[in-house]
Amino acid sequence: MAVFTQVSKTEAAALLSRLNLGQLTDIEGCAGGIENTNYFVSTLRDGEPHHYVLTLFERLSFEQLPFYLHLMKHLAGKGIPVPDPAADARGEILHKLKNKPAAVVNRLKGRSELAPGASHCAQVGAMLARMHLAGQDYERSQPNLRGLAWWNETVPVVLPHLTPEQATLLQAELAYQNHVAASASYEALPRGPVHADLFRDNVMFDQGQLSGLFDFYFAGIDSFAFDLAVCLNDWCIDHGTGRPDPERSRAMREAYESVRPLTAAERELMPAMLRAGALRFWISRLWDWHLPREASMLKAHDPAHFERVLRERLEPL
């Protein structure tokens, strides 16, 4: 995990009590994650133990956060298994701790499946499609803050750290994605709230059944096809080589389409979206790797993985 900001027992207890979640019994910094400070906290309420996650947001602002937190509430209300932010007596779900924005959500059951098979991929595909449908009437709007504009801003920052060959690939792919984004097919892609980071470590399984999706803090309004591509690029890739696994890819895509069939524009642009998904995480990993932040327990992800995934996704010349 990353703990960028230390929270004392007293500070956590005061917040939990204000949210009427019970008396703090345990607090522990949690492993995994690279964006925010997360603590697992346990309480006793009416004699029963309850388990929550306390998050302090390190990059997102008080203005940006309502989009994510209310989206989680909206999806939870529609039966999608996502963390439900706890409200105070005034109904406010965004709080302040150590002068930072903070939230407390229920702790999901289960564990991440880091070596998924076709059944896991199918469950993720079907749940992603359900989530896209459930989010369609969500009224708030916020762009994907790690979308094309951010790629254009960040590529020049990371370029000095690359070999000439890597720099050529990164710039060429960015130019290609700018070109795709200006096309009529791209304009025709169905859009809505997307997770945009639904990797293996952001999904829980309990006894082989999907039990939760979390970490919505890269969500935004973007194309559903991009969201599916992000999932295919993580769940259905061989992490050793960066190569797509045909069986897992088919399982995820068919399960997605059994809930929400892809449109003609989505089918046409899926190869471009797979490249976009690889580019997005290559850029963010380069950025985290070469311009790291201070944090205890922070482990940056290897950018070379998404360079390999991108090369695999390029259509043969």
Ligand X SMILES: Nc1ncnc2c1ncn2[C@@H]1O[C@H](COP(=O)(O)OP(=O)(O)O)[C@@H](O)[C@H]1O
Work out whether 196 is an interface residue with ligand X (CB under 6 A): no
Work out whether 108 is an interface residue with ligand X (CB under 6 A): yes
Among candidates 307, 301, 316, which has minimal Cα distance to 35? Answer: 301
Please report, as residue ranges, which positions from 55 to 84 form the binding site for ligand X (by CB under 6 A): 83
Which of ligand LJ64HWYM, ligand X, none does residue 197 bind (CB under 5 to 8 Å by kind)?
ligand LJ64HWYM
Residue 76 or 314 having the CB closest to ligand X:
76
Tallying the residues shown for the chain, one arrives at 317
Question: For residue 165, how far is the Cα from the chain centroid?
Answer: 29
Site string for ligand LJ64HWYM, 261-290 (x = CB under 6 A): --------------------x--xx-----
Work out whether 214 is an interface residue with ligand X (CB under 6 A): yes
Which of 26, 50, 53, 289 is close enough to bind ligand X by CB under 6 A?
53
Site string for ligand LJ64HWYM, 206-245 (x = CB under 6 A): ---------x------------------------------
Write out the chain in H/E/C secondary structure: CCECCCCCHHHHHHHHHHCCCCEEEEEEECCCCCCCEEEEEEEEECCEEEEEEEEECCCCCCCCHHHHHHHHHHHHHCCCCCCCECCCCCCCCCEEECCEEEEEEECCCCECCCCCCHHHHHHHHHHHHHHHHHCCCCCCCCECCCCHHHHHHHHHHHHHHCCHHHHHHHHHHHHHHHHHHCCHHHHCCCEEEECCCCCHHHEEEECCEEEEECCCCCCEEEEHHHHHHHHHHHHCECCCCCCECHHHHHHHHHHHHHHCCCCHHHHHHHHHHHHHHHHHHHHHHHHHHHCCCCCECCCCCCHHHHHHHHHHHCCCC
Which of ligand X, ligand LJ64HWYM, none does residue 273 bind (CB under 5 to 8 Å by kind)?
none
| b/e burial code for range 135-156 (CB count within 10 A of at least 16 → b) | beebeeebebbbbbebbeebbe
> Residue 297 Cβ, how far from ligand LJ64HWYM at the closest point, in Å?
12
Work out whether 197 is an interface residue with ligand LJ64HWYM (CB under 6 A): yes
Please report, as residue ranges, which positions from 6 to 45 form the binding site for ligand X (by CB under 6 A): 30, 32-36, 38
> Residue 90 Cβ, how far from ligand X at the closest point, in Å?
23
Which of ligand LJ64HWYM, ligand X, none does residue 285 bind (CB under 5 to 8 Å by kind)?
ligand LJ64HWYM
Which of ligand LJ64HWYM, ligand X, none does residue 282 bind (CB under 5 to 8 Å by kind)?
none
Residue 37 or 249 having the CB closest to ligand X:
37
Using CB under 6 A, which of the segments 4-12, 32-40, 246-254, 263-271 binds ligand LJ64HWYM? 32-40
Q: Under the rule (CB under 6 A), what is the footprint of ligand LJ64HWYM?
A: 33-35, 197, 199, 201-202, 215, 281, 284-285, 301
Q: Under the rule (CB under 6 A), what is the footprint of ligand X?
A: 1-2, 30, 32-36, 38, 53, 83, 105, 107-108, 201-202, 214-215, 217
